[in-house]
Structure 1
Amino acid sequence: MRQPPLRPDTLQARRASGIALRALPAWLSVLLSTSLASLSGPAWALYKVVGPDGRVTYTDRAPVDKPAKAIKANGASVPTDALPYELQKVVSRFPVTLYTGNNCTPCDTARQLLKARGVPFTEKTVVSSEDIRQFRSQEATDQLPTVRIGQKQLSGLQHNDWTAYLDAAGYPATSALPPGYQHSPPTPLVPIEPKPGNAPGASDAAPGTPTTPVAPAGNTPAGIRF
């Protein structure tokens, strides 16, 4: 008998009823893999658009009526040359991107989960106001951590759900990374561009010029939930 499609909310119900997602039946693993494959799509680019009034916006769609600058060629910047061939194939089909914030305990746990399993991933930090605007526009959520496995988005750390989708994507259950592998360091979601006139080596402030107070690093970005 053909099994009916499984909705995402059904996955939540399975977990609540005590059915371990690690023991997904074969037909569900195939279904999840097929769904992820159909959503994987081509690598996406990030474009910077400057409006007539000088306002800067970011989009993942190339504007047809405005000049735009591509500032990110690929959503997955994980180096794969040193990876085993089978893992290279998984990473190329279902790249993993983790979005994190400062002083976010669930984000630290999520990062450790991926590293312990040996999942190569790109980490993007959501800290500045530009990061927050782009994150909300791109991911349609304000919750951290958020992970993308291919094009599948999972917001908030739910260990069983993350594990189930990593399984379905084909990531090994235990680390297959080569000895000495180093994960890429986290980078801001919106690349920091040097301000005009700030030449390398120039003095940060002229003598006698008051400096602008800097907010404590531990402050949670406005509107972002952990």
Structure 2
Amino acid sequence: MLPDKDFVNGLTWLIENGIIVVEQTVNEIETEEKISDVNCLGNARCISGTVVKIVDGDTIQVDDVAVRFALASAPELRGYGGVESRDFIQTLCPAGSQVIVDEDDSQTKGSYGRLVGVVYCNEINLNKELLDIGLGHLSVQFCDSSEFRYTDWAQKHGCESYTEPEPTSTQSQCDPSYPDFCIPQPPPDLDCGDIPQKNFTVLQPDPHRFDVDKDGIGCES
């Protein structure tokens, strides 16, 4: 039977030479457990990988894929706050970290070939953290389409206040007497000089009286 000291020395030698890998195995198990706790939304890709590089405050490289944060934007590196936002993400998720990327269903073809999604690193939502700390801003132009627009963090930072502009005219406002174009019902009463269309079909009762001679053609030039 080996003395305790010899046993420890022998075990240390085995670990140092890679014959026994204790810490790596434990870390791998912990990482797998953390990754499995993340449930992706929607129907787009849900990928896992290793962070190779923090490109800037809203873009990281995962294996050979560039990943852009959905709904969260950071300043350019040369802009005010750009370096700070990158360093913040790097602190939360340094190179070598394991991540899950939940791709945005509505942005499966991101700009510059990047994958667009929510990034989870060490069980932290990086998109949310960037906005919460004030080093980034919400990309409100995607609030009408992103699958993440109804998440708590997106609503908190601006998607809740986003509304699509009201259309100037809808099909229900178009007068059926003028089937070729959408001409609104009166009031107000319109004359031919008030509209750009000429020589179009007019059906009765013709409330705007575009067809004066009642030949079925309005605003004849």
Q: TM-score by structure 2 length?
A: 0.26
Select the structure that is richer in strand. Answer: 2
- TM-score calculated relative to the size of structure 1: 0.26
Whose Rg is larger? 2
- Between the two structures, name the one with larger relative contact order (CA 8 Å, sep ≥ 6): 1
